[in-house]
Structure 1
Amino acid sequence: MTISTPMPNLNKTNLARRTILTGLVSCAVAGPVFALDKRVATQLVDRLVGEINAAIDSGMSETKLIGRFERIFADYADVNIIARAALGPAARSAEPAELEAYVAAFRGYIARKYGKRFHEFVGGKIIVTGTNDRGKFFEVMAVTELRGSAPFDVSFRVSDRSGQNLFFDIIIEGISLLSSERVEIGALLDARKGNIATLTRDLADLG
């Protein structure tokens, strides 16, 4: 005599709940909910500029301000892409652990460097003025107003290349962060005969 085990009673509510939970998990694995478009790029830079303005208005010391900018860069900048692009062809031949250590050191270096630059903006503010679709990325324009100085332009280039909506370049007075760092990091690497580990160690004292 065979005794069959009754199947559990899955009512419509349970099935619906499972369907919703599966959908939420799929969204989390897939990446950002909001696809990058002109509106999303503008909103991202609006939040970024809001945090920068709050930092420069806070009256904190340069050391603390640089620490704050390091957190801002971690939240809004595609540091991985910026760091790899700055390293150039050497990034393709680097060992994974070596590259990971370099990117971590680069994050601190770039935050200190631009933290000092943004420290010059104390007493001023950055205002977003518009956004242009550049095809592969969006460029969000802003103007920086400083006390006792003429306003100048700043723009943030935003993409979703890494699976997140982040900025990968800042143009300040016509000078690209990405282009500048390619030259700077390239020269530093050449001076160390292509040794990425030595460059990584030395980045801790630069910026």
Structure 2
Amino acid sequence: MNSDPTPVPHQAAVLQQAQEQTMTRPRLHDRSGRRRRAPPVLLCLLVLLTAWGPAAAAASDTPEAFVGKVGQDVVDVLKSTRPASEDRQKKLQGIFVEAFDTTTIARFVMGRHWRRLGEDERKRYLEIFPAYVASIYATRFAEYGGEKFEVLKAQPAPGGQTLVETAISGGDQKQPVAVGIRVSKDGGAFRMIDVKVEGVSLLVTKRDEFGAFLARNEPDELIERLAKIAEK
């Protein structure tokens, strides 16, 4: 495993674009205490992943079709598993691992604190991160309220990536919500890199959460907290 903190080219593109975003720092998510509604970025991502129809999953030779296939896989899991079941959790985690560039995302959201991690901590963090995010997503699927999703267009983005521009409407949304999904192709396979809702980046949201926590705590404490969330 490469422990060099210098980002590879497509990681550098992620860094350059996401650093342009500014926002407040929410608390690190946990699953104790009073239940809170999903942040708009996470909730819209869940809507996105559950809104695609079978036609969109016919092929994955374009970024749009790739995202559609991911969405249909999620729909199949939701139809065939019980809410909060271990089976659902494992299947959603598998989809996340395959669909997202987990290494790029995990390293980016750790930010400058990546350099504070030893080799063993990096390895454990990268192993835990996909399960952590899958756990959050699985918890939030209950909030899906039947919103409608539409692909508007796809256009080239820096670093050889593609920005798929979409819109979500209906449900609780009084006006369509703009959602941009950034997709990269690495080794012949498409991977999702980031989701932006009304210009707010999922990557930056998680980086700010982690940064706020690590300003007061050690990296191993963050890793253990992520592990506990992932196990629930």
Following TM superposition, by how much is the alpha carbon of 1:91 offset from its aligned partner in structure 2, in angstroms? 1.6
The 1-side partners of 2:142 and 2:148 are apart by 11
The 2-side partners of 1:113 and 1:148 are apart by 21
- Identify if the C-alpha distance between structure 1 residues 51 and 122 changes in structure 2 by more than 3 Å, giving closer, same or farther: farther
Tell me if the contact between 1:56 and 1:119 (Cα under 8 Å) persists in the aligned partners.
Answer: no
Superposition CA RMSD, Å = 2.9
Range 43-52 or range 125-134, more displaced: 125-134
Task: Tell me, yes or no, if structure 1 residue 142 matches structure 2 residue 166.
Answer: yes
Structure 1: tracts of 5 or more residues without a match = 1-38
Tell me if the contact between 1:56 and 1:121 (Cα under 8 Å) persists in the aligned partners.
Answer: no
Bigger Cα Rg: 1
Following TM superposition, by how much is the alpha carbon of 1:118 offset from its aligned partner in structure 2, in angstroms? 3.9
1:54 — aligned with what? 76
**Aligned-partner SS, 2:82:** coil
Residues paired across the two proteins, number: 168
TM-score, normalised via structure 1 length: 0.67
**Aligned-partner SS, 2:228:** coil
2:25 — aligned with what? none
TM-score, normalised via structure 2 length: 0.61
Following TM superposition, by how much is the alpha carbon of 1:53 offset from its aligned partner in structure 2, in angstroms? 3.4
- Which protein has greater RCO, CA pairs closer than 8 Å, 6+ apart? 2
State which of 216, 220, 231 in structure 2 corresponds to 1:191: 216
Q: Among the aligned pairs, what percent are the same residue?
A: 26
2:54 — aligned with what? none
The 1-side partners of 2:156 and 2:129 are apart by 29
**Aligned-partner SS, 1:144:** strand
Task: Tell me, yes or no, if structure 1 residue 78 matches structure 2 residue 101.
Answer: yes
Structure 2: tracts of 5 or more residues without a match = 1-60
Following TM superposition, by how much is the alpha carbon of 1:43 offset from its aligned partner in structure 2, in angstroms? 2.2
- Identify if the C-alpha distance between structure 1 residues 132 and 56 changes in structure 2 by more than 3 Å, giving closer, same or farther: farther
Following TM superposition, by how much is the alpha carbon of 1:204 offset from its aligned partner in structure 2, in angstroms? 2.1
The 1-side partners of 2:91 and 2:170 are apart by 20
Tell me if the contact between 1:130 and 1:141 (Cα under 8 Å) persists in the aligned partners.
Answer: yes
Following TM superposition, by how much is the alpha carbon of 1:57 offset from its aligned partner in structure 2, in angstroms? 4.9
The 2-side partners of 1:183 and 1:163 are apart by 31
- Identify if the C-alpha distance between structure 1 residues 133 and 169 changes in structure 2 by more than 3 Å, giving closer, same or farther: same
State which of 66, 74, 83 in structure 2 corresponds to 1:44: 66
The 2-side partners of 1:173 and 1:117 are apart by 20
**Aligned-partner SS, 2:212:** helix
2:140 — aligned with what? 117
State which of 110, 116, 129 in structure 1 corresponds to 2:152: 129
**Aligned-partner SS, 1:159:** strand
Residue type at the aligned position of 1:70: Q
Residue type at the aligned position of 2:214: L
State which of 73, 88, 108 in structure 1 corresponds to 2:111: 88
Matches within 5 A, 1:90-109: 90-109=113-132
Tell me if the contact between 1:57 and 1:122 (Cα under 8 Å) persists in the aligned partners.
Answer: no
Following TM superposition, by how much is the alpha carbon of 1:188 offset from its aligned partner in structure 2, in angstroms? 1.8
The 1-side partners of 2:100 and 2:137 are apart by 12
The 2-side partners of 1:125 and 1:56 are apart by 17
Following TM superposition, by how much is the alpha carbon of 1:48 offset from its aligned partner in structure 2, in angstroms? 1.4
State which of 150, 174, 189 in structure 1 corresponds to 2:199: 174
- Identify if the C-alpha distance between structure 1 residues 115 and 145 changes in structure 2 by more than 3 Å, giving closer, same or farther: farther
